[in-house]
Structure 1
Amino acid sequence: MSEGIKNSNLSLLLKEILKKRSFSMRKLSELTEIDTATISRIINGKRKANPEQLQKFADCLDVPITDLFIAAGYPIEQAQKKPQSDIHISVDSIQNFLESSNLYDKKFTMASVEQELAKYEQYVQTEEGTETILNSFGEKLQKVGSIGPFINQLKDMYEKFRLKKGTPRELALMGSALIYFILPVDIIPDYIFPIGYLDDAIAVQIVINLLSKK
């Protein structure tokens, strides 16, 4: 490994790589599905990147993961380990936030989100459930705006659902994520700032993982 990379920190290294690739932070966000604001904080040294984020950077920028781990200050051995999935990191972060605040007094678990999705999966197969998605998705999207990569994933699910591109099971799964997003009162109600939509993002990731296994 070159001495330059060895002595560089992650911020400088990422800036150098993005410049060489002619990539903007927005482009990196699209490729990695990591929020642009998060990438900005990492690149400007205001936030420590976790192993999963480093893996995504390595994959999308075509650089050795070990270079990024060393620059970020992680032990080199950790680069050889499979990083904890983003979804579990998010669940842990949400729960830690809830426990340290007085905004919400219920325990957040992935199982609770999965239970809601299973319920919505049944609902979406009814005429009422389908109409709710077709009539309300656009309106909810306008209220929320683009708050992260999961919005683009929801838009893609909506188009497939609207055009019925998928098996009945796939459409039901996509519909469950759409209903979860549309309804304002879910595991973490949408009006709880600033975490109201984090469980929606988790729900989308759960459904994407289920679809990828089919």
Structure 2
Amino acid sequence: MNNQEKLQQFIKDEMKHREMTLRRFSKVVNIDHATLSKIMNGKRKANINHVQKLSDSLSVDFDFLLESAGFRGAVKDELEQTWIAVQKVVNDMTDIEESISYKRVNEEISYFKTYSGTDEGRAKIRSEFDGKIEETSGVGKYTEQLKMMYRYFINDKGTLKSQLLVGAALIYFIVTTDLLPDYLLPVGLLDDAFIVQVILQRLENENILL
């Protein structure tokens, strides 16, 4: 059984377990029923957006479904390799030797997603973002991405999920407990920039444009 067949079988098993028709199941996972039918019949390959929707709606591990769909963790691997490169730069330029796993990065994102959805978190973003931008004297694409995220957040655009993702990046930028300390500027901003790129990748996978 190849990887696409694994995903096809997974979908069929879920439909049988839930006793759902294709049309009803397609509404649950928010994938057009005609598209879902083609994926199940091997006439169309599921893309990352389809995998993300299945993962979110069915509460199934994203990496498991990603591999089942034939991606073999390619997206995750690329981001993880980027994080390894960030740490190498830091180790080469400083005396920091601590190795921080990519799993830890995702744990940080999950924590700040939750915090950004609270009244305290939203107030912190609104009251401290401008000051942190001024403090870091940031310029260039990274800073513009953060400012774009900030406008998106304070104007309450998008879905709750996209708001929490964007909020996570903003909170991470603001707080002083970064994975890499900000006193190592500009090296200390590398992890902030990396988090922003991870969030933007997740938004892109959801077809969400800021």
The alignment's TM-score, normalised by the length of structure 2, stands at 0.57
Percent identical pairs in the alignment equals 31
- Residue aligning to 1:166: 158
CA displacement 1:92-138 (0-9 Å, x = unmatched): 33222344455323113332222111100000111000000000000
Contact 2:90-2:187 within 8 A present in 1 as well:
no
Could you tell me which amino acid in structure 1 is paired with residue 97 of structure 2? D
- Residue 132 (structure 1) aligned with residue 124 (structure 2): yes
2:134 to 130, 138, 142: 142
CA displacement 1:59-96 (0-9 Å, x = unmatched): xxxxxxxxxxxxxxxxxxxxxxx9xx985564233222
Contact 2:115-2:121 within 8 A present in 1 as well:
yes
CA distance in 1, matches of 2:181, 2:86: 13
- Residue aligning to 1:199: 191
Where structure 1 has 5 or more consecutive residues not aligned to the other structure, the ranges are: 1-81
Could you tell me which amino acid in structure 2 is paired with residue 131 of structure 1? A
Could you tell me which amino acid in structure 2 is paired with residue 164 of structure 1? D
The worse-fitting range, judged by mean Cα deviation, of 100-109 and 171-180 is: 100-109
- Residue 119 (structure 1) aligned with residue 130 (structure 2): no
CA displacement 1:8-59 (0-9 Å, x = unmatched): xxxxxxxxxxxxxxxxxxxxxxxxxxxxxxxxxxxxxxxxxxxxxxxxxxxx
Secondary structure, counterpart of 1:191 in structure 2: helix
- Residue 96 (structure 1) aligned with residue 78 (structure 2): no
Contact 1:133-1:179 within 8 A present in 2 as well:
yes
CA distance in 2, matches of 1:102, 1:165: 40
1:182 to 170, 174, 198: 174
Cα RMSD, aligned residues only: 2.3
Change (3 A) 1:132 1:173: same
* Structure 2 counterparts to residues 14-93 of structure 1, below 5 A: 87=79, 90-93=82-85
Change (3 A) 1:146 1:98: closer
CA distance in 2, matches of 1:100, 1:156: 32
Could you tell me which amino acid in structure 2 is paired with residue 152 of structure 1? E
Contact 1:154-1:178 within 8 A present in 2 as well:
yes
Structure with the bigger percentage of helix: 2
Where structure 2 has 5 or more consecutive residues not aligned to the other structure, the ranges are: 1-73
Q: How many residue pairs are counted as aligned between the two chains?
A: 132
Change (3 A) 1:144 1:102: closer
Contact 1:134-1:162 within 8 A present in 2 as well:
yes
Contact 1:157-1:178 within 8 A present in 2 as well:
yes
